[in-house]
Structure 1
Amino acid sequence: MQTKTEPTTEFVPRLGLLDATMIVAGSMIGSGIFIVSAEITRSVGGAGWMLFMWLLAGIITVIAAVSYGELAAMFPKAGGQYVYLREAYNPLVGFLYGWSFFAVIQTGTIAAVGVAFAKFTAYLIPAFSDTNILLEAGFFRLSAAQLVAILVITLLTYINSRGVKDGAALQTFLTIIKLVSLFGLIICGFIWGARSDIWEANWQNAWSLSSLTLTGDQLSYTPLAGLAAFGAIAISMKGTLFSSDSWNSITSIASEVKRPERNIGLSLVLGTLVVTIIFILTNVMYLAVVPLKAIAFAPSDRVGVVTADYIFGSSGTVIMAIMAMISTFGCNNGLILSGARVYYIMAKDGLFFQKASVLNKNDVPGYSLWMQCIWASVLCLTGEYNNLLALVIFGVLLFYILTILGIYRLRWNRPELPRPYKAPGYPFLPAVYVVIAFALAVLLLIFETRYTLPGLGIILLGVPIYYVLISRQGKA
């Protein structure tokens, strides 16, 4: 008879619809809503274009989420997107996703959010700034901010190694705080901070697609046309899509959700819809409170902090920094909780370290969690927030496209599979997502080459690794 201290290999369903929805929403709401509007505004210039970037990201995220509901209902098991790609195509495609997920997608996102947590912590405690270099040896530099990011990732990994209920309870608690805080910020902004003169000034060149530069106190507009205009849109969408990403994290832990064939799809719809509305309202509030120049050139891109200063004065900036810290802390908790389940399923398939296929005494994949922690910590040392963001989003888009196309493929090749839930608007809505995401991926490949090419190289590196693993299985 198995005792509680022995490792197990099967997950136990412990999470309800509220837990699942909070994991979706909490994994989405991280640092992006407080930061990326600055880069977007610099890239596209007008308030109208800035809001449109957020709206477009929200629309395609919701389309993807409701489409994923069909796959989640068909395969209500741990592993999420890895399983969907394996079943829709073949084990190689599934492995390329899982390999990229570990190498850069999930771990890179965890690192980027950890760096963002440190960025806001440094606002309250300047000693934790990325300018405070603790160690320098040749090309290697360790800053206080990087160390903070690594420590937070380690702490959250430990919490999640204690059991899924502990991780989910923390996620629900932090997500509720984030939702209430953001709604409160929006309401306070419209009531106490909004000014008609700022709103009108921000909308004067709302649909003039231009790049912004600041010389002294003088704001300059450079009109964009042709390929340059598409490049600006792609760079902007990089930020909005990253801010809205990780909505599919709940699919990775489907085996631990009660009634997954119902609750996974429903949590995807509820979580993405609520967060999309919040993100759009937050940016409308920014435009009603803060001049466009102050949004575009906020110190360290901390638009949220600047906005709080306009609403509440100097004390508001402290409140906003704390809000952002809570937000990024909760976001990383959801990412760490869900990510390790993918490596667990890969290990069960013989395509990852075998230790990752074992659950610890708390019924969670402890080895997977700590492997993820170590590699995400290494990535914290490799770049700044925006660099990590660019490295991650290209691979994310490629695999989202393949997964949505997998819906068509499974409908054609495996019509006999039970489909308790079907993608609404099929075949039109999933096709809309594929077209938009493909166009953005191509534009990022053109305009963010120094990040997207390494990302593509990491994905392709998985091909020889896969065949090495398969040959070893054959020998075994």
Structure 2
Amino acid sequence: MNHSNGPKRHLPVMQALLITLGMVITTDILKTAPTVALNVGPAWFYWVWVLGGLASMAGALCFAEMAAAFPHPGGDYHFLRTAYGERMGFLFAWSRFSVMHTGWIALSAFMFADYVNAVVPLGRYGSGLFAGGVIAALVLLNLTGKHIGFITQTLLVGLLALGFLSIASAGVWLAWQGIEAAPASVSVAPENTGMAGFSAAMIFVFLAFGGWSDAATLSAEVRDGRRGIFIAMLGALTLLMAIYLALNWAFVRGLGFAGLAASNAPAVELLNRAFGAPGVLLILLMVGIAAIATINSTLLVGARTTYAAARDVPQLRRFGEWDERDGVPRKAFMAEGAVALLLVLFGSFTQSGFNTMVEYLTPVYWLFLSFSSLALIILRRRFPEVPRPVKVPLYPLLPLVFFGLCLYMLYSSVTVVGWGAFLGIGVLLMGALLLAGLSRLASTPRQALGQISD
């Protein structure tokens, strides 16, 4: 990797930890907690969240070893390309560019706009204009330089964590006052039972924990040698699991398990019950902060993956340039923002729910995560001479167990969820067609061993 033309190690470890936390902590749990409760009984409710956190940590250990050994702004794009070849790397970069990152940016912007629309009517196309404005503003903010983007993200994550803790405090307040859980207003039958229910619940649990793999894109920018990324990833997931368990305890304590399963907005109901109207306003503020933090972190990660992939494709080299003055991949940022705005434009004329986006993103996510878990074994065998400051314990058992989990979740994401899963796979196949077209124009040069191991 050429250090004279690319990212420098400027991020303190604690700031990287907070940025990583911002990649995984979102308001998803405010939507997914009732769905999880609806698919598992109260005896298993907390355990599925613990299992999701521990499984995510196992995957993070695999990524931390690869990120420490092969630091690169492309993160898992670089791991996949080094282990499997340029075609796999290109398809992964395409999936992030067209399915996972830009789709998530548009979804988060629409979620923010919908909450604003509930308070201040924006009109028929107002939500789309508002969502597009938020994305454009954050792209422009990040173009001003690396320090502005990272500092903004750190502040947003700090505010978001305080907001989540305030929700948990509502449960503590109700317990302190001796107020019993509210009875459920309606009776809701479980959506699934047995393994089908467990599989459905785990899809939404992992959605709430998702995003930790994106932290690998910071591996070339974190200080403290090559161990900083390990501290950032594992520390963020530890904090996140503690926050999620506290939130779920507060939901059950304030609404009751049946009330949580029947709720469409558990945080609103809980804070309204504990603090009244000010609590509802707090939720609206939290949603806005969470949406901006999610969009900003996704832009930071997505632009770096696009930058790294574009450097390896001659026809796309213009997007693989790093602005040395501001320390950002400027053209990659603009490309990510442009595609996200196109999706916002498309979403303004169609209706798409939260669950449909879960269907769209989930299969592609688990497909590439399964490849990434095996990449660790391949890279150890292919490049044994590369120093590894961080090593996965119980090798190769832990990577193989995580690989098995990825295959199980991939199967569940296709069989349990709906038609949106096949739409996401279809977009991935479009990337394969694009790759075939580019291959006819010119072959992509392979990276030399010196570039990989540097």
Q: Does TM, scored on the shorter chain, surpass 0.5?
A: yes
1:256 paired residue number? 221
2:380 paired residue number? 411
1:279 paired residue number? 244
Maintained 8 Å contact 2:35/2:201: yes
Q: How does 1:163-174 map to 2 (within 5 A)?
A: 163-174=145-156
2:296 paired residue number? 333
Deviation of 1:343 (Å): 0.8
Which ranges of structure 1 fall in alignment gaps of 5 or more residues? 1-7, 135-143, 203-216
2:449 paired residue number? none
* 2:174 matches 1:192: yes
1:51 paired residue number? 46
* 2:189 matches 1:221: yes
Maintained 8 Å contact 1:24/1:248: no
2:439 paired residue number? 470
Identity of aligned residues (%): 23
2:253 paired residue number? 288
1:41 paired residue number? 37
Q: Secondary structure at the match of 2:442?
A: helix
Q: How does 1:275-354 map to 2 (within 5 A)?
A: 275-298=240-263, 301-350=264-313, 353-354=316-317
2:341 paired residue number? 377
From the superposition, tell whether residues 150 and 253 of structure 1 become closer, same or farther in structure 2 (CA, over 3 Å).
same
Q: Distance in 1 between matches of 2:403 and 2:174?
A: 42
Maintained 8 Å contact 1:28/1:245: yes
2:124 paired residue number? 133
2:417 paired residue number? 448
Deviation of 1:288 (Å): 0.5
Deviation of 1:9 (Å): 4.2
Deviation of 1:88 (Å): 1.2
Q: Distance in 2 between matches of 1:218 and 1:11?
A: 54
Higher share in strand: 1
**2:97 aligned residue (71, 90, 102):** 102
| Letter in structure 2 aligned against 1:309 | N
Deviation of 1:83 (Å): 0.1
| Letter in structure 2 aligned against 1:133 | R
Q: Secondary structure at the match of 2:392?
A: coil
Deviation of 1:239 (Å): 2.1
From the superposition, tell whether residues 218 and 76 of structure 1 become closer, same or farther in structure 2 (CA, over 3 Å).
closer
Deviation of 1:417 (Å): 2.0
Deviation of 1:261 (Å): 1.3
1:114 paired residue number? 109
* 2:401 matches 1:401: no
Cα displacement string for residues 362-392 of structure 1 (whole angstroms, at most 9, x for unaligned residues) = 1211111111112122333343332222211
Deviation of 1:197 (Å): 7.8
* 2:71 matches 1:80: no
* 2:25 matches 1:25: no
Deviation of 1:195 (Å): 7.9
From the superposition, tell whether residues 196 and 433 of structure 1 become closer, same or farther in structure 2 (CA, over 3 Å).
farther
Q: Distance in 1 between matches of 2:72 and 2:225?
A: 8
Maintained 8 Å contact 2:52/2:209: yes
Maintained 8 Å contact 2:167/2:267: no
From the superposition, tell whether residues 317 and 200 of structure 1 become closer, same or farther in structure 2 (CA, over 3 Å).
closer
Q: RMSD across aligned C-alpha pairs, in angstroms?
A: 2.5
Deviation of 1:16 (Å): 1.1
From the superposition, tell whether residues 386 and 192 of structure 1 become closer, same or farther in structure 2 (CA, over 3 Å).
same
- Size of the aligned set, in residue pairs, is 436
Which ranges of structure 2 fall in alignment gaps of 5 or more residues? 446-454
Q: Secondary structure at the match of 2:189?
A: strand
Q: Distance in 1 between matches of 2:399 and 2:128?
A: 39
Runs of 4+ displaced beyond 6 Å: 194-197
| Letter in structure 2 aligned against 1:34 | L
